[in-house]
A and B are shown apart, each in its own frame.
Chain A
């Protein structure tokens, strides 16, 4: 059973517009969420995270929103740039534990000129 779901395998957005990537989770024990960006043949790069005690975290062009009641989080990228084209993974964990991250299957974001 998939505990972290990214239901859009791909997303195409025009350069300069907002990109919104979505993620849903089922395990109510998760209390820390992360977004990673991955280029082909490279390791994932940490982008931004959010603790369940917050509903929003912002870092430059990236903002993550968390809706605990809906078990939903989203990553907003504004404005979208060509270098943002990559696969984005949503991940969740139980903070403070030593367990690994549980990842979604990823969304391939394509920024069109």
Chain B
């Protein structure tokens, strides 16, 4: 079974703080992703990485950065947290073959910025 873990389930931070969200997968997947989920907006892609030290912007990268120093770990960084970054953050890891292409998600981190 694919296992994707996230460092915190719930996090409360203050405006202006630097926030690190960690994600680890144990299946040696090359592709990893960060999404945020907001009511009425579904899941939106923030950043993704297709290999160590490689990163690509998703649909809503503003206010975020990422780090992929090791294959199993993909970190999302909020350089200066703002209240509009209060959200559920979801990390995913991707497996694909000629016949399948599936992303597996971690349990999510509910971040509240005060």
Contact between B108 and A101 (Cβ–Cβ < 8 Å)?
A: no
Which of A32, A45, A103, A105 makes the CB contact (< 8 A) with B101? Answer: A32
Check B31 for interface membership: any CB of A closer than 8 A: yes
Binary contact track A87-113/B, C-beta < 8 Å → 1, others 0: 001010101101111111110000000
Check A34 for interface membership: any CB of B closer than 8 A: yes
Contact between A43 and B107 (Cβ–Cβ < 8 Å)?
A: yes
Which of A42, A43, A51 makes the CB contact (< 8 A) with B99? Answer: A51
Q: Within 8 Å CB of B92, what residues of A?
A: 100-101
Contact between A34 and B42 (Cβ–Cβ < 8 Å)?
A: no
Total A-B contacts with CB atoms under 8 angstroms apart: 68
Chain A contact residues, majority secondary structure: loop
Contact-residue size bin, chain B (C-beta under 8 Å from the other chain): 20 to 34
Which of B30, B101, B110 makes the CB contact (< 8 A) with A49? Answer: B101
Which of B48, B94, B106 makes the CB contact (< 8 A) with A43? Answer: B106
CA distance A40 to B56 in the complex (A): 29
CA distance A44 to B105 in the complex (A): 6
With both beta carbons as reference points, the residue of chain A lying nearest to B104 in the complex is identified as: A46
Within 8 A of B (CB), among A56-113: 89, 91, 93, 95-96, 98-106
CA distance A52 to B82 in the complex (A): 41
CA distance A96 to B100 in the complex (A): 9
- Tell me the minimal C-beta distance from A90 to chain B in angstroms: 9
